[in-house]
Amino acid sequence: MVIPPPESAAIVPDAPTPAPAPEAAPSLSSTYRDPYTGMEFVLVKGGCFKMGDTFGGGDSSEGPRDQETCVGDYYLGKYEVTQGEWSKLMANESKFQKGDRYPVENVSWHQAQEYIDKLKKETGKQYRMPTEAEWEYAARERGKQVRFGTGKDTIGPGEANFCASLDYKKSYSRVGEYRARTMEVGSFAPNALGLYDMSGNVSEWTCSDWWSFYDGSLETSCSAGSGLFRVNRGGCYLSAPGDLRAARRSGCGPGNRFDVLGFRLALPPDQVGK
Ligand SMILES: [Ca+2]
């Protein structure tokens, strides 16, 4: 015979209501392909890293060396924006027009922004350029202490498109072919995140203002329009090896155009799967 417990034992006064199980964060796809342009992206999981000249010997603007910088999750273009992708929305005035897979160059920051605005309208996705911090974090394979956007500490002409002439050799570079022109995007191996040409080919506009110092917030935000220069990163086909370093910074007026300067796009994670 089963004796039921006394009624009082069955009721626990003020029993805490179990908290609902936390909603599992939706898992983000590791890649994304924009259906309008065909542009491919990889997910870069955020984190904190030491930004700047961690190897020493860099420019005074690449510091302070021990600055801890944090970025959230974002998608970043696998490749520099190509002329094929650009031509869907804008007139192509690149110098090296050898095919759709060549990076667009000779575009000002303002023109890149105009392209982004058109792409937003076409796709409904909030595309933007990466911040300076996002660019360097990705070039360094999520903030590793590596010298180049290839994920390596040394560089040669079989790994990136740059000026590999003997005259510009460094202890960390190898001498070889100096092409002096752009190459198709993805002509060399990617870094461990699957990002191509982070060092060399065309240098890349970021959305951040350029100042000759880091203050912890400027490099993690997009320009509000007040700065005279915007940061570009990664060096180009004309650059000496030192200018291909992941920490190397350069700034140009947003209206300037050069045939060494292109860009790649970023996409906030909440824009994928919408
Ligand atoms: Ca590049």
For the chain, the domains span 29-274
What is the Å distance from ligand 1's center to 155 Cα?
14
What is the Å distance from ligand 1's center to 260 Cα?
9
Using CB atoms within 10 Å of the CB of residue 240, give its burial: 0 to 12 exposed, 13 to 18 middle, 19+ buried: middle
What is the Å distance from ligand 1's center to 140 Cα?
13
Topology adopted by domain 29-274: paralog of FGE (formylglycine-generating enzyme) (3.90.1580)
Q: Which helix (H) or strand (E) holds 10?
A: helix 7-10
What is the Å distance from ligand 1's center to 124 Cα?
26
Quick: pLDDT tens for 86-136: 999 999 999 999 999 999 999 999 999 999 999 999 999 999 999 999 999
Beta bridge partners of 217: none
What is the Å distance from ligand 1's center to 28 Cα?
26
What is the Å distance from ligand 1's center to 160 Cα?
9
Average pLDDT score over residue span 144-157: 98
DSSP secondary structure, 66-126, as one string: T-EEEE--EEEESSPPBHHHHHTTS----S--S-TTSBP-S--HHHHHHHHHHHHHHH---
What is the Å distance from ligand 1's center to 204 Cα?
6
Give CA–CA dist 133/51, Å, rounded.
7
Average pLDDT score over residue span 179-198: 98
What is the residue-averaged pLDDT of the chain? 91
Q: What is the pLDDT of residue 21?
A: 62
53 vs 11, higher pLDDT: 53
What is the Å distance from ligand 1's center to 199 Cα?
5
What is the Å distance from ligand 1's center to 249 Cα?
13
What is the Å distance from ligand 1's center to 126 Cα?
22
What is the Å distance from ligand 1's center to 215 Cα?
25
Q: How far apart are the first and last CA of the chain?
A: 59
pLDDT at 66 over 80: no
What is the Å distance from ligand 1's center to 103 Cα?
9
pLDDT class of 57 with cuts at 50, 70, 90: confident
What is the Å distance from ligand 1's center to 202 Cα?
4
Q: What is the pLDDT of residue 217?
A: 76
Quick: pLDDT tens for 197-221: 999 999 999 999 998 777 777 789 9
183, 215 Cβ separation under 8 angstroms: no
Q: For residue 131, which of 247, 64, 223, 51 has the smallest C-alpha distance? A: 223
What is the Å distance from ligand 1's center to 68 Cα?
24
What is the Å distance from ligand 1's center to 196 Cα?
8
Q: What is the pLDDT of residue 11?
A: 44
76 vs 211, higher pLDDT: 76
pLDDT at 7 over 50: no
What is the Å distance from ligand 1's center to 246 Cα?
11
Residue with tokens 């869907």: 88
pLDDT class of 1 with cuts at 50, 70, 90: very low
What is the Å distance from ligand 1's center to 120 Cα?
23
What is the Å distance from ligand 1's center to 26 Cα?
32
